[in-house]
Structure 1
Amino acid sequence: MLRVPRKFDLVVGRGEGTTPLNAFDAALLDAGIGNLNLVRVSSILPPGAQLSPGLQIAPGTPTPTAYGYITSSTPGQIIAASIGVGISSQDTYGVIMEFEGFCTKEEAETRVRQMVEEGFQMRNLSLKEVLVQGIDHKVEKIGSVFAAVIMDY
């Protein structure tokens, strides 16, 4: 049986590399999670999960992660990624949304906030709080941005 995560953190990063994968890896390292094994999950925050800024997870740990990213090889292009977490007023589960696109950090954060609000409306949940983090990057050669919620036990 799988355990239910009890802690979470929002992380963002940007990076450049000689290949798209190296750029993505650089963004993960910048976000502080480049040495974890990310296990991609969909967008529900478990009931009772608590925000734990600076969450420390041992290298190589399989880590439940909801994330968005974008990579570009067009020099001068602006790319952005953002992550949003909606916390329920009823202390039930939360909703995580991720966004990536060719825009600024501010535009990405606005869009992900709207997505969280819509996700709560669709579920008929009352929204207590929205946490948002975003990042943008002007591509030099091959660039990547990454935004995620990582979870731990």
Structure 2
Amino acid sequence: MLPVPSKFTLVVGHGEGSTPLNAFDAALIDAGIGNLNLIRVSSILPPGARFFPELRIPPGTLTPTAYGYLTSSRPGEVVAAAIGVGFSSDTYGVIMEYEGFCTKAEAETRVRAMVEDGFRARGITLKDLLVLGIDHRVEKIGCALAAAVLGY
């Protein structure tokens, strides 16, 4: 079994590229996680995991990450992504990610509601909530990305 992460951070990034994959890579680099091997995880924050504004993770590390992203090749279009993490006082937390053709503020509002819904569905009380979002106006091929990066 893999170890349980004990800390996490939230990051956002945006970028342009010559292909959708290059735009995604540029967004990862902008977010500071472009040199990690991300392992995409679903929506549960381990009990007791603590928030750190920055995690120093060596390049190439296998890194559990919940993320949402959106790319577009329509110049002038706005793409956005947001990540939300809700905390309970006595158990695990819930992570939600949102991406859409909207502004940063709209993405943050939607992900906040998603976290609240996730807590209601599980029958646990939401104590606190962190949300971070970003938007990007596409020039050629653009991407917006938001992520919760888990660490040890």
Q: TM-score, normalised by structure 2?
A: 0.99
Distance 1:47 1:54 in 2: 19
Distance 2:151 2:58 in 1: 11
Which position in structure 2 is the counterpart of 1:133? 132
RMSD: 0.5
Q: Does residue 1:123 correspond to 2:122, yes or no?
A: yes
Distance 1:2 1:63 in 2: 11
Distance 1:152 1:78 in 2: 31
Distance 2:98 2:22 in 1: 21
Distance 1:54 1:118 in 2: 28
User: What is the total number of aligned residue pairs between the two structures?
Assistant: 152
How far is the alpha carbon of 1:33 from its aligned partner?
Answer: 0.3
SS in 1 for 2:127: strand
Matches within 5 A, 1:79-98: 79-90=79-90, 92-98=91-97
Q: Quick one: which amino acid aligns to residue 56 of structure 1?
A: R
Q: Quick one: which amino acid aligns to residue 132 of structure 2?
A: Q
Distance 1:107 1:20 in 2: 23
In structure 2, the gaps of 5 or more residues are none
Which position in structure 1 is the counterpart of 2:21? 21
Deviating above 3 A after TM superposition, structure 1's stretches of 4 or more consecutive aligned residues are: none
Which position in structure 1 is the counterpart of 2:144? 145
In structure 1, the gaps of 5 or more residues are none
Distance 2:93 2:123 in 1: 12
Matches within 5 A, 1:29-48: 29-48=29-48
Q: TM-score, normalised by structure 1?
A: 0.98
SS in 1 for 2:27: helix
